[in-house]
Amino acid sequence: MYIRQTWLFSFDEWMEIDPSERRERFFSALDLSQYAAKLRSLTPQGAKPISREAILHAFLAAPLEGISTLTQLHRRLESDLRFRYQCGFSLHESVPSVSTLSRVFQAIVDKGVAETRFAELVRQCRDEGLIEGEHVAIDSTAIHAYEQKHPRSGVQPSNRANWGAKFDAFGNRLAWFGYKVHLAVDAKSELPMALTVTPANVYDGEMAIPLMEELHHHDWRIRFVLMDAGYDQTKNYEAARALGAQAIIPMNRRNEKEPPEGMDFDGTPRCTMGYRMTYWGAEGD
């Protein structure tokens, strides 16, 4: 087996659990108290603070329940008493408003709570031998933003959501408004080792070096770095080599006029007479 990570629940056991009870099982395996403590704020005298741990549970449960916005989450907490109770909210008190959820979410970003938790999980996986880190794959994926879209023309680069586009495995062009999450993943365990989020218009090839430097900063000993053709840039090969690793990247034929001397467009060697190398058997008539 290549994937050595263990499961919180087996698939068969998970499917046998009533859907309404899965959240309780999920939350019981998490200890978020120390992160909730970082999110507590000073409250005016007489006002009872809303449980930050319950809000964290709601945030984690939202994608599992198909909830994509804070407004939808607020409505679900209001209408579904069981969901509210399992998240940890009192049934005798009003649910947090959309503005409260928004403030806590912003605090999670500003205080680096998610980033800290991610780094701790990666360190734990490394200590347990789940992540070896010798073979690393780097790629990005789209994150759609639920906010007012800007026109494509005249959009200035910033840290806010923006228009982005990329090609899928079949060569189809995909466009979206939002962000990208750039990931460095251990190819053996399929677990993430480093990540960063940028506006969607940031080119993939520009983020490979920051990810490799982040891994080097945490003393990962990388042997091979696998990337798709979007990362086919000289600087990415050189950065991997400087870290003692070898970059494995397919050639990017887009916007390329001529291949390097002695090579074809797909990387196949050509002799001085211009004939392609034959890999298997002999050429037919």
Q: What pLDDT, in 10s, does the model give residues 25-78? A: 777 777 888 888 888 764 545 456 788 899 999 999 998 888 988 999 999 999
CA 30 to chain centre: 20
Whether 17 and 94 map to the same domain: the answer is: yes
Provide the terminal-to-terminal Cα distance of the chain, rounded to the nearest Å: 45
Whether 19 and 98 map to the same domain: the answer is: yes
d(CA 215, CA 219): 7
Residues 6+ apart with CB under 8 A from 279: none
Q: Assign 149 a pLDDT band (cuts: 50, 70, 90).
A: low
User: Helix, strand, or coil here: 108?
Assistant: helix
Number of domains in the chain: 2
- Going by C-alpha positions, the residue among 29, 94, 87 that lies closest to residue 59 is 87
Residue 7 has pLDDT above 60, yes or no: no
Whether 137 and 107 map to the same domain: the answer is: no
d(CA 115, CA 210): 16
Sign of CA dihedral 174, 179, 198, 53: negative
Q: Copy the structure tokens of residue 162.
A: 């923006």
Quote the domain boundaries for residue 143.
132-148+158-248
Whether 85 and 163 map to the same domain: the answer is: no
Tell me whether residue 3 is in a domain: no
Whether 140 and 204 map to the same domain: the answer is: yes
Tell me whether residue 238 is in a domain: yes
Whether 90 and 168 map to the same domain: the answer is: no
Whether 136 and 105 map to the same domain: the answer is: no
Whether 70 and 172 map to the same domain: the answer is: no
* Residue 139: DSSP 8-state: E
Sign of CA dihedral 26, 72, 74, 180: positive
Whether 140 and 53 map to the same domain: the answer is: no
Whether 88 and 181 map to the same domain: the answer is: no
Residue 157 in contact with residue 201, Cβ under 8 Å?
yes
Tell me whether residue 255 is in a domain: no
Residue 196 has pLDDT above 90, yes or no: yes
Tell me whether residue 258 is in a domain: no
Whether 243 and 138 map to the same domain: the answer is: yes
